[in-house]
Structure 1
Amino acid sequence: MLISPDLSAADNARTEYALTCAHFLRDRSGPLDVGGAHFRAKVLGAVTVPWTDLAVVRLDTPSPPKTLLPLATRRARWLAPALTQGFGGSWYKRRDRAGRVVGWTPVAASRDLRTLVRPGVILHNDPKVVRGDSGGPIIVDDEIVAVQSLIMDPFGVNLGIAAGSQVAPHLPRIRSAVEALRRAY
């Protein structure tokens, strides 16, 4: 998801920064192409937030003008209506998945224990979040409260429960990541 360099809201803004899930970058080498509908760019560099599933990337091309949502400064309240956006199931068409915050967790891990969400927000979505939605925003009250990270799918059955990496506890490290990428590129 595209973010403003100062992590605040911006209307009709162009940006070369994005916040995504760190597991997307794992085990990848060489040039990395990213994009969505009507936008393509290459990743110049990335900074991951240790012990989380959060990463900030800098793109080689600023985005077209977009409305950028602010990153939340506190966790989402219990039972708050939430919207998860992702490209699971389609490279070109963003999917919106309505849901509710049903809890929080100090830590959640993927089956192979390679992906950690710390701390996490737990959501119930309908339609269900699917593989490929990772890295998309979880929005509550027009703020990005988390980055979509994990789905709960024991034995391959998607339960409609997902975990996202909360951004509020990591705002100082996200700001530092943006600044490091600004200095490097």
Structure 2
Amino acid sequence: MYSLLLALIYLAFISLGLPDALLGAAWPTMYPMLGVSVSSAGIISMIIAGCTIVSSLNANRVIRKFGTGIVTATSVLMTAVALFGFSISKTFWMLCLWAIPYGLGAGAVDSALNNFVALHYASRHMSWLHCFWGIGASVGPYIMSYCLSVKNSWESGYTTVGIFQIVLTVILFFSLPLWNKQVKMKKRVKRRNQSI
């Protein structure tokens, strides 16, 4: 159970990294189609970053109310919905709109998982956690470049990553009992150590 949950957390961090570099990889193809300037990517990036900050700052309150498992699964779902939104966007303002759940989802899952690993696992797992984010951040642009070169479609790049996020969301929702068991086990160990 301990190892299975940790593997899911690592997988979730891969999914956190996957969308992070998609915009940069796709933007040279996207901006002429959208009829905007090259610099407009900065607006989308700042909306995502701003929403990530807002989500991160409120994560503690949300995690206490709903638990890390639900927050993680819901956040990955929000990111998946945003990625599908990006894939159907035909105008710049639609991308800006979809950037909101994109950032909110990314910030919440990042804060939730970092907090959970810090509280329930050895410190070495924090380094591995961010290593797995790096895997996702490396694979995301590869997926986008493949879709651009083979399918000539940036939309399919976002769709592909969105499908991965949906699959992960389903896995995370099914794994919710594991999160609760890990928290209960940690509390039991803590009480036992205090009684010694």
Normalised TM-score (structure 2): 0.25
The structure with the greater share of residues assigned to helix is 2
The structure with the greater share of residues assigned to strand is 1
